[in-house]
Structure 1
């Protein structure tokens, strides 16, 4: 599996284009906006976009979802149902933060713990990791030892929990019981900032280190 990180929106959110090398089919994870940048990655790599995947529904991660899905006539998968209130509030979120008007949508598939999502012939595991938002999920590719963790964990930090239905203790539990068991060698793409590994964060991240 191949990927390219595409920083989007004024919040410099790490949208990720994932694709299957064999089929050239792709998924876009967290298209918060700046869709022209995302389309350029798809075109440059000769990819066919087959779905949108969402970790959670904050504006910088989900703001461009409806527009991208409609343009390509593709399904939206994720997040978990408990983030529905954030999707319903996307128009208000876009006004609050000065983003282009974001459309509401209903995912074609709500995701749950233990689900799998496909990208071409590649498969990623879904883990429900609430705390930053109640319906936050992460995606894990076993073969690549790669996780896309949204705003659960960052290089040297963790997600905010002061938003509606955020909870600090729940977030810490998600990190320690869902992410750490995947293995210290797993590299992760956070929602913002540089990549890291779970092992490095267990050693040095002041919020969650062992």
Structure 2
């Protein structure tokens, strides 16, 4: 297994570290506890190439500044949420925890779906809005996983009562983008344990019975 799940921050949102055979890695959704994450990466003697966000809610961005400053790497976020990084009202921290969490602007804005190449890492990026307008999912066919953020969970789906949320759009994203992946694909969610596309097709009560 070339990836590691690490729950971090206020609500233990899942950060993911994906490494290759050269000791390089990508870091997804560093939500908090920057020193815990940095210490792990250094202990494993990994060299980060980038920080990628599935979306810009506070619990997924909290350690982004410290991590990218440590290694001088860029931060990727969808263009629909570029302002959320610096706005505590948009990213939910002002409302949900009463403590404004913001980070610096992203160096890289994701503007369209397609292949994302970072060093030797190849990802397919899907725009999967609904939980938030700039939610994206990162798929590796070679590794057989999709990092879904807060779009799809084991037995659940993302909440849609925050800024820009829509349950109809969310379910369309899940059906059109995620459930169309191979059934054996691991779904690495923003909270909780991993699951598979097949498991969610068959058992997720929020998905079954929904028709486009």
Asked if TM exceeds 0.5, the reply is yes
How many pairs were matched up? 208
Asked if the contact 1:8–1:15 (Cα under 8 Å) also holds between the matched residues in 2, the reply is yes
Which is helix-richer, 1 or 2? 1
For the pair 1:186 / 2:185, whether they are aligned, the reply is yes
Cα displacement (A) at 1:43 = 1.7
**Whole-angstrom CA distance in 1 between matches of 2:190 and 2:4:** 13
**Whole-angstrom CA distance in 2 between matches of 1:45 and 1:118:** 23
Asked if the contact 1:19–1:120 (Cα under 8 Å) also holds between the matched residues in 2, the reply is no
**Whole-angstrom CA distance in 2 between matches of 1:115 and 1:77:** 14
For the pair 1:84 / 2:82, whether they are aligned, the reply is yes
Asked if the contact 2:137–2:146 (Cα under 8 Å) also holds between the matched residues in 1, the reply is yes
**Whole-angstrom CA distance in 1 between matches of 2:35 and 2:98:** 15
Cα displacement (A) at 1:88 = 2.6
Cα displacement (A) at 1:113 = 3.9
Cα displacement (A) at 1:84 = 2.5
Match of 1:4 in 2: 4
Match of 1:111 in 2: 110
The gaps in structure 2 that reach 5 residues or longer are none
Cα displacement (A) at 1:103 = 3.5
CA 1:124–1:99 in 2, change beyond 3 Å: closer, same or farther? farther
**Whole-angstrom CA distance in 1 between matches of 2:93 and 2:163:** 16
For the pair 1:58 / 2:48, whether they are aligned, the reply is no
**Whole-angstrom CA distance in 1 between matches of 2:157 and 2:8:** 20
Q: 3-state DSSP class of the match of 1:104? A: coil
**Whole-angstrom CA distance in 1 between matches of 2:100 and 2:168:** 33
CA 1:118–1:100 in 2, change beyond 3 Å: closer, same or farther? farther
Deviations 1:24-60 (A, max 9, x none): 1111100111012211221222101111000000000
**Whole-angstrom CA distance in 1 between matches of 2:15 and 2:118:** 16
TM-score, normalising length: structure 2: 0.90
**Whole-angstrom CA distance in 1 between matches of 2:97 and 2:175:** 35
**Whole-angstrom CA distance in 1 between matches of 2:112 and 2:175:** 16
Match of 2:157 in 1: 158
**Whole-angstrom CA distance in 1 between matches of 2:161 and 2:9:** 21
Match of 1:205 in 2: 204
The gaps in structure 1 that reach 5 residues or longer are none
> Deviation above 4 Å: which 4+ runs of structure 1?
91-101
- The CA RMSD over aligned residues, in Å, is 2.0
